[in-house]
Amino acid sequence: MRRIFLLFQLACLLAHLPLSAQPESKTEHDARMEWWREARFGMFIHWGLYAIPAGEWNGGTNYGEWIRHSARIPLGTYDKFKSKFNPVRFNADEWVKTARDAGMRYIVITSKHHDGFCMFDTRQTSFDIMESPFGRDVMKELADACRKYGLKFCFYYSIMDWHHPDYLPCRDWETDRGADSADFGRYVEYMKKQLEELLTQYGDIGVLWFDGEWENTWNDTYGKEIYAFVRKLQPDIIINNRVGAGRLDMEGMSDEGTFGGDFGTPEQQIPPTGLLGTDWETCMTMNDHWGYNKANTVYKPAKKLIRMLTDIASKGGNYLLNVGPTANGTFPEQAVSRLREIGRWMKVNGESIYGTSASPFASTPWGRCTMKKSGDTVILYLDVFDWPADGILKVPGCLNEPVSAVLLAHPGKPLPLSREDDQIIIRVPPDAPDQANSVIKLTLQGPLDLTNPPEIVADNDLFVDRLKVELHSDRPNVEIRFTGDRTDPVDTSFLYTEPLEIRGKATIKARCFRDGKPVSGTATRTFTMVLPLAPKKVENPVSGIRYHYYEGEWDSLPDFDSLTPLKWGEMPYFSFEPRNDQERFAFVYTGYILVPKRNLYTFSTASDDGSRLYIGKKLVVDNDGLHGLRQAEGSIGLLPGFHPIRVEYFEKTGSDELEVYVKTPDLPKQPLPEEWLVH
């Protein structure tokens, strides 16, 4: 994945369609991205006709902005919401001030979502807000309010459109929008005309945030065409990677060789590490829906949202936090109260977010870190989640001379500083100023001289017979000392010179030394040898796998033993072909896999929604729950021969996908070979 992320960065700089024959230089690109990188924090707003049913339809209460699709509402019925849309309590100034007071620097709002309803004054369709009882252009009012209060105004625009007669593909359940007379090229021209309206009627737009690009009618050729068209209208605008067709699902980054726009868009997740040199933005809901759902009253606590903001900034990303307004034009009180708490924290600690770069540390056991550089000075913002009970905060691997340390909550009270080997020691008060995140501003004499703990590299924490382990450091002129008995390395511990071979359970600890003195913290990793499972005897195996098919309404995998299948049979590979419907179904696949040799096998499922994989009675992969396309993996030791396999899958609404993968220490990750499956 790291290679993909670095190539994504290259795509951002080189793959754009320029406004002239010469590509945009890195300097020009950086200048265009400057305000966005400085901002770090924005508000996402999902608002449209779907706020009227508020997540409820025919007894179901778990719908959101996809309700027309998920509840299969006919166009004639859904269109009637237009005559009911009258958000009389909408106040653009209040919305923008709420975002500003929360510390947000930009707003991205749905000008048109997948249902095709336009929340702006468009001449291309009558399916817009100006034809509703409200009859006001809320986008114009919000654009004016953003300029008034100093926020960047940005548009979300859906490529997918369930209302337009020329959009393809049509859903198989649609009877009022057929594909026979549709012309997708004509739909793209409709898009262009609407984008021209959005970019000429509302002043300078900071970001154009595309979505709905994953259906097979859209491709990178269209993406490049639209990107160039938009940049011609507003050369300084920033465009996300969903304008192209290469996004890697909810991970949000663009696949190698595809068109990547200006920044990646992880959705409902935060990358595990920073993405060096890559612009990215996590978009996330406060509860479980983007659009307003009156039954969904459980919101993430403000403490969690503050820590997410910090985590994202510490990895060099932006945080786009969603609000789903009600049909009357107000923000839900649960959202407002959390934004108020975030704003209280940002008022004190905002300088640790705005204009910062990613943490230089590989890990920080007490929380997170962001950084700023200014000439010969380096500022580290230490975001302390876990306040030290002994009043001593250790900053390992930092060899710079510390200048000062203060809590942003008490900037006039310097904290005592000292050094212990490679560690800077900061003495802190007994009580944390903020339970969510107390920030210490540590100023250092630069340039930064920091050594991270060595990286302990191995294929897995589990192994069957033996395992090769390597120790790596990115710093020159250091030696790596290690132990295998859980003790901390010292200058007389084993010197690492070649890969280690582990043959039993071991805990490796490693640390960097220079001239006999430690210059990094200690890395720790535990490895465990597992006993491989014996195979089963299978008489007269037949290629393929058995399946049982079910239908129902689930938020997680049900107890299939208590259910009666609607269909059953055999198939050559994991497939949804026997299903009756596109949604609300489940499969249980059972059979055996014929593994070729004694080894550690790592299985994974990529599914939307939930899935689980068992080998024998052991749950190896747990990827359950409602979610977008997501991968999970697990490992098990197996002897050669036949082993029972069971894969469970359910789909509620939206996209559906299931892939099953396998890898071993000597076999790269690949789809589970069809020839391994028997029953």
Q: The domain spanning residue 643 has which CATH number?
A: 2.60.120.1560
Q: What is the pLDDT of residue 175?
A: 83
Query: With 70 as the cut, is the pLDDT of residue 9 above it?
Result: no
- The model's confidence at residue 52, banded by pLDDT at 50, 70 and 90, is very high
Determine, yes or no, domain membership for 55.
Answer: no
Determine, yes or no, domain membership for 462.
Answer: yes
Is there a single domain that holds both residue 135 and residue 245?
A: yes
Range of the domain at 490: 455-529
Strands 618-623 and 611-615: antiparallel
Q: Is 20 left (phi over 0), alpha (psi -120 to 50) or beta?
A: beta
The domain boundary, picked from 445, 478, 504, lies at 445
Please tell me the distance from the alpha carbon of residue 71 to that of residue 219, in angstroms, as a whole number: 28
Please tell me the distance from the alpha carbon of residue 126 to that of residue 160, in angstroms, as a whole number: 18
Instruction: Identify the bridge partners of residue 508 per DSSP, sorted by sequence position.
Output: 525
Q: What is the pLDDT of residue 561?
A: 95
Domain harbouring 218, CATH code = 3.20.20.80
Is there a single domain that holds both residue 203 and residue 83?
A: yes
Helix (H, G, I), strand (E, B) or coil at 49: helix
At 364-422, the pLDDT tens digits run 999 999 999 988 899 999 999 999 999 999 999 999 999 999 999 999 999 999 999 89
Determine, yes or no, domain membership for 122.
Answer: yes
* Block residue for tokens 């997410």: 308
At 89-110, the pLDDT tens digits run 999 999 999 999 999 999 999 9
Is there a single domain that holds both residue 554 and residue 658?
A: yes
Q: What is the mean pLDDT of residues 444-467?
A: 94
Q: What is the pLDDT of residue 374?
A: 84
Determine, yes or no, domain membership for 22.
Answer: no
Instruction: Identify the bridge partners of residue 569 per DSSP, sorted by sequence position.
Output: 547
Is there a single domain that holds both residue 178 and residue 271?
A: yes
Is there a single domain that holds both residue 113 and residue 202?
A: yes
DSSP per-residue codes, 583-651: SSEEEEEEEEEEE-SSEEEEEEEEEES-EEEEETTEEEEEE-SS-SSEEEEEEEEE-SEEEEEEEEEEE
Query: With 50 as the cut, is the pLDDT of residue 140 above it?
Result: yes
Whether the predicted model's global pTM rises above the 0.85 cut: yes
Is there a single domain that holds both residue 608 and residue 466?
A: no
Tokens of 606: 């990529």
Is there a single domain that holds both residue 99 and residue 227?
A: yes
Determine, yes or no, domain membership for 20.
Answer: no
At 513-549, the pLDDT tens digits run 999 999 999 999 999 999 999 999 999 999 999 999 9
Determine, yes or no, domain membership for 291.
Answer: no
Query: With 90 as the cut, is the pLDDT of residue 274 above it?
Result: no
Q: What is the pLDDT of residue 41?
A: 98
Please tell me the distance from the alpha carbon of residue 443 to that of residue 415, in angstroms, as a whole number: 12
Is there a single domain that holds both residue 556 and residue 422?
A: no
Domain harbouring 460, CATH code = 2.60.40
Is there a single domain that holds both residue 344 and residue 385?
A: no
Q: What is the pLDDT of residue 579?
A: 92
Question: How far from 29 is each of 4, 36, 41, CA to CA, in Å?
Answer: 20, 12, 20
**Number of domains within the chain:** 4
Tokens of 59: 């007894």
Phi, psi (5° rounding) for residue 604? -145, 150
At 23-38, the pLDDT tens digits run 799 999 999 999 999 9
Q: What is the pLDDT of residue 15?
A: 40
Q: What is the pLDDT of residue 519?
A: 94
In whole numbers, what is the pLDDT of the chain averaged over residues?
Answer: 93
Determine, yes or no, domain membership for 106.
Answer: yes
Q: Is 569 left (phi over 0), alpha (psi -120 to 50) or beta?
A: left
Is there a single domain that holds both residue 119 and residue 206?
A: yes
Domain harbouring 437, CATH code = 2.60.40.1180
Please tell me the distance from the alpha carbon of residue 252 to that of residue 239, in angstroms, as a whole number: 14
CB-based contacts of 83, cutoff 8 Å, min separation 6: 132, 133
Tokens of 78: 């859904």
Query: With 50 as the cut, is the pLDDT of residue 17 above it?
Result: no
Is there a single domain that holds both residue 161 and residue 38?
A: yes
Phi, psi (5° rounding) for residue 384? -95, 105
Determine, yes or no, domain membership for 63.
Answer: no
Is there a single domain that holds both residue 416 and residue 511?
A: no
Strands 506-514 and 500-502: unpaired
